[in-house]
Structure 1
């Protein structure tokens, strides 16, 4: 093993060299030099898959490079590797402790007259994998997952009859898993600066996120609806992003979306403490209100182009989804936005962040409800 050092022959001391090494090395000359014992497997791994007989460490973050019988590694790269290995060990220790505590709790639960708990896997992928290993539970592959879904789907009616409580719990778990997936996908997308067309497709595939806007029983009718009289060609017609209907009263609702990057307020205040709304927001509000007007005038013709025809235009509700609430980074901006939004007539303005927050709140409510029925130890 070769280590970098900048030494003065007159005052050279091996301890000075060792002091600057990252974790993962034995630094006490009385106990031998080299890798810490817990990382011996790294050496064996290199020996098994290369012809290397020398490890040369250099300053910096250079990744491993094999050249003949020598493998060269940057000390900073190696230090980062060791740091992550130690974090994984720490997560593993915590995962194992959770499993042991839950097991002990459940063994005593009946005798202490307390409720049993469910095993908490943790959120990090390493923690979940290690907890599963501690429980002697196999990792669920895509093939296994598909088989499980098919089995549940095939025997759902029978399972609901034989074990209704378990089926309700399973349904809640599935809803939570779907919500977690949707929330993560939504959160990542918010920071990706996708164009409006991308969001059009996203909401078509995840209609549930938009249904949270309505605060009532609502069903999806169609996307990109051509509103107006005449044939089915969109030319000369108003195009609504989304059409919904109240499932109880059949009243129609229109949703117009803009990008998350759409600015809500003007950059400079109009007067002290007052910010004006960006023109694109005002235009979007007028656009959806005009769509509602045309929908009322041409209800019959528009119905011929939609998959559902039970909706009615008694009093169409209008929504615009645009911008990020995180843009409102001062009390004056929040005040200006709310003054504008809360006094709008006939249309509701909602930011992308608010939809995400509604999804999180629903997830937390379902998770709390699940824990109330089957608590976990963490």
Structure 2
């Protein structure tokens, strides 16, 4: 290329001289961050402090109609008769301290008639309200059915310091609850967090005698576990069987299952459950104590340990309950609502499954080491017992913890 060609090419390239010239040349959507400089004007508290200016062209036309239709119009980069829209912001003193945001209209051509017209100027407070609102927009579900109002101070507390979420929630709990209820994923997170807290309480009741006794409230020791499982029925639902088990009555687990009917008086079972699916089947659970012995204290024969009185008694109680319930309930049990009316749903009750929750496998160990003969005796007993299925409290806890962990990984 000759010198004349280079000169002609150089002469054709725009050379911006004013702020308006630069604005006409900026690429749409690209953020430009200027060099730091000591502020010489503006708020007295800011003068002398380091500042940086940020620019971005956010629209090619300031007069665009309020429509989402894209007609495919081409826009010439260096000539904007409709007026491009430029946002100019200034950060002063410290990172994130936005002192001003200005919206400007850019018209004309570079090196010819380019002009900047101020559309809107936001001071420090207004600028930060706009920033907070723009961040909040990312989490708004367009399908929400109710109006939600979020206090700006509560939102700002979280945005400025995520660790202050607790404080923000305390300030405006209703606003956070409304957002969570409208967000399925958030609801899942809250549910998993609540289940983790339940597992912590479960473990505390198993390991801390003082905490367990504090829960008795003047009742029996068995009532502690009865209330705990009633408040958290999912523990039995996921912790007992390969089937998902649900409570017969959402309000309580303990029900009468023999003598007259499930709805009347008779033999009680600690937890009346049903399997889920197209065909529902009845399932019983007897809940004994977590510190009941699984085996007798002394061996029955060398290498052989007999079941404890608590375990053998629980097995006998479970078998009697199943037999009496089978005789009284028949093959199918009709479901009734709270007012006594039939719902049209039947539960298969001729061959109910039964579970016995008792003791802990920890009782078969010492200092973390298993007693081989004790473990063999216990495992052979329950492996060869058709009913009830025997589970220990630590096994129910482990199964529930695994389920929560899987839910966390899936999320």
TM-score tier after normalising by the smaller chain length: 0.5 to 0.7
2:325 to 255, 277, 295: 295
Structure 2 match to 1:148: 176
Per the TM alignment, residue 328 of structure 1 is displaced from its structure 2 partner at its CA by 1.0
Per the TM alignment, residue 134 of structure 1 is displaced from its structure 2 partner at its CA by 5.9
Task: Give the secondary structure class of the aligned counterpart of 2:200.
Answer: helix
1:295 touches 1:302 (CA, 8 Å); kept in 2? no
Distance across 1 between alignment mates of 2:378 and 2:159: 48
Per the TM alignment, residue 186 of structure 1 is displaced from its structure 2 partner at its CA by 0.5
2:333 touches 2:349 (CA, 8 Å); kept in 1? no
1:201 aligns with 2:230: no
- Number of residue pairs matched? 226
**Which runs of 5 or more residues in structure 2 are unaligned?**
1-157, 214-220, 366-370
2:281 to 222, 230, 251: 251
1:215 to 232, 239, 242: 242
Distance across 1 between alignment mates of 2:327 and 2:377: 34
Distance across 1 between alignment mates of 2:236 and 2:166: 34
Q: 1:148 to 1:233 in 2, by over 3 A?
A: same
Larger Rg: 2
Task: Give the secondary structure class of the aligned counterpart of 1:315.
Answer: strand
Q: 1:203 to 1:306 in 2, by over 3 A?
A: farther
Q: Give the alignment of 1:104-183 within 5 angstroms.
A: 135=162, 137-140=164-167, 141-142=169-170, 144-153=172-181, 156=182, 167-168=184-185, 170-183=186-199
Structure 2 match to 1:276: 306
2:204 to 188, 204, 219: 188
Distance across 2 between alignment mates of 1:208 and 1:271: 40
Distance across 2 between alignment mates of 1:133 and 1:190: 41
1:342 aligns with 2:369: no
Distance across 2 between alignment mates of 1:225 and 1:306: 15
Per the TM alignment, residue 219 of structure 1 is displaced from its structure 2 partner at its CA by 1.9
1:240 to 269, 279, 288: 269
2:258 touches 2:268 (CA, 8 Å); kept in 1? no
1:359 to 370, 395, 400: 400
1:315 to 327, 347, 351: 351
2:335 touches 2:346 (CA, 8 Å); kept in 1? no
Per the TM alignment, residue 150 of structure 1 is displaced from its structure 2 partner at its CA by 3.3
More helix by share: 1
**Which runs of 5 or more residues in structure 1 are unaligned?**
1-130, 160-166, 371-378
Task: Give the secondary structure class of the aligned counterpart of 1:253.
Answer: strand
Q: 1:366 to 1:247 in 2, by over 3 A?
A: closer
Distance across 2 between alignment mates of 1:320 and 1:338: 14
Per the TM alignment, residue 290 of structure 1 is displaced from its structure 2 partner at its CA by 1.6
Q: Can you list the C-alpha shifts for 1:96-127, whole angstroms capped at 9, x where unaligned?
A: xxxxxxxxxxxxxxxxxxxxxxxxxxxxxxxx
1:267 aligns with 2:297: yes
TM-score (norm 2): 0.50
Distance across 2 between alignment mates of 1:331 and 1:145: 54
Task: Give the secondary structure class of the aligned counterpart of 1:274.
Answer: coil
Distance across 1 between alignment mates of 2:401 and 2:235: 11
Distance across 2 between alignment mates of 1:335 and 1:306: 46
Distance across 1 between alignment mates of 2:322 and 2:410: 39
Distance across 2 between alignment mates of 1:209 and 1:369: 19
Q: Can you list the C-alpha shifts for 1:53-94, whole angstroms capped at 9, x where unaligned?
A: xxxxxxxxxxxxxxxxxxxxxxxxxxxxxxxxxxxxxxxxxx
Q: Which has the higher contact order (CA 8 A, sep 6+)?
A: 1
Distance across 1 between alignment mates of 2:321 and 2:171: 46
2:361 touches 2:392 (CA, 8 Å); kept in 1? yes
More strand by share: 2
Per the TM alignment, residue 314 of structure 1 is displaced from its structure 2 partner at its CA by 3.3
Name the Cα RMSD after superposition.
2.9
Q: 1:363 to 1:304 in 2, by over 3 A?
A: closer
